[in-house]
């Protein structure tokens, strides 16, 4: 692994380096976090969406995962977002892409983005209002008048 501080420092460090700076050595919390991060970065471990245990797997062989401690079944790439025993990753991505397109269409017809903060606000009577702030005509999250939305 390399130093994450800025672009100027890309020095490599080893597990022994991390253990040396952890006051408890290899049993310390810093080293344990480093070890977990290193396993996640290996591309061969995926965290269980139920208990967080890092299970070893190979997504090039199969995305189907089953957690060793809690027996939860999940997808290596998408966690519990779909059941890989029932639906492939490609089918899941296609389904969610269609849902995102439908959501964007509804948002485009019924809301506009506040020019100040970008949050979508409701359109009423030709003007844009955030329904949570009554009839003030401003976004509840920023001071920009929402009547500026087109």
Q: What is the mean pLDDT of residues 107-124?
A: 73
Compute the distance between CA of residue 102 and CA of residue 114 in angstroms, rounded to an integer: 21
Asked whether residue 49 carries a pLDDT value surpassing 60, the answer given is yes
- Residues 6 or more apart whose CB falls under 8 angstroms from that of 91 comprise 82
What's the whole-number mean pLDDT along residues 133-147?
A: 55
Q: Specify the length of the chain in residues.
A: 150
Question: For the whole model, what pTM was predicted?
Answer: 0.57
Mean pLDDT computed over every residue of the chain: 80
Q: What is the DSSP letter of 140?
A: S
Token code pair at residue 6? 């800025």
> Which pLDDT band, with edges at 50, 70 and 90, does 96 fall under?
very high
Residue 10, pLDDT score: 75
**HEC readout, 15-57:** HHHHHHHCCCHHHCHHHHHHHHHHHHHCCCEEECCCCCCEEEC
* Signed CA dihedral, 12, 14, 16, 19: sign only: positive
* Domain boundaries of the chain, sorted by first residue: 1-41, 89-148
């Amino acid at each position: 692994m390399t130093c994450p501080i800025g672009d100027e420092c890309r020095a490599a460090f080893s597990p022994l380096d991390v253990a040396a700076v952890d006051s408890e050595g290899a049993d310390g919390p810093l080293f344990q976090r480093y070890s977990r991060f290193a396993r996640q970065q290996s591309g061969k471990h995926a965290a269980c969406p139920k208990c967080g245990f890092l299970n070893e797997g190979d997504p090039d062989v199969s995305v189907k995962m089953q957690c060793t401690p809690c027996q939860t079944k999940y997808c290596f790439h998408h966690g519990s977002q779909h059941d890989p025993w029932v639906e492939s990753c490609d089918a899941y991505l296609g389904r969610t892409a269609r849902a995102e397109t439908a959501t964007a269409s509804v948002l485009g017809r019924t809301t506009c983005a506040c020019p100040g903060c970008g949050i979508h606000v409701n359109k009423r009577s030709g003007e844009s209002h955030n329904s949570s702030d009554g009839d003030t005509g401003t976004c509840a999250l920023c001071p920009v008048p929402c009547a500026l939305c087109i």
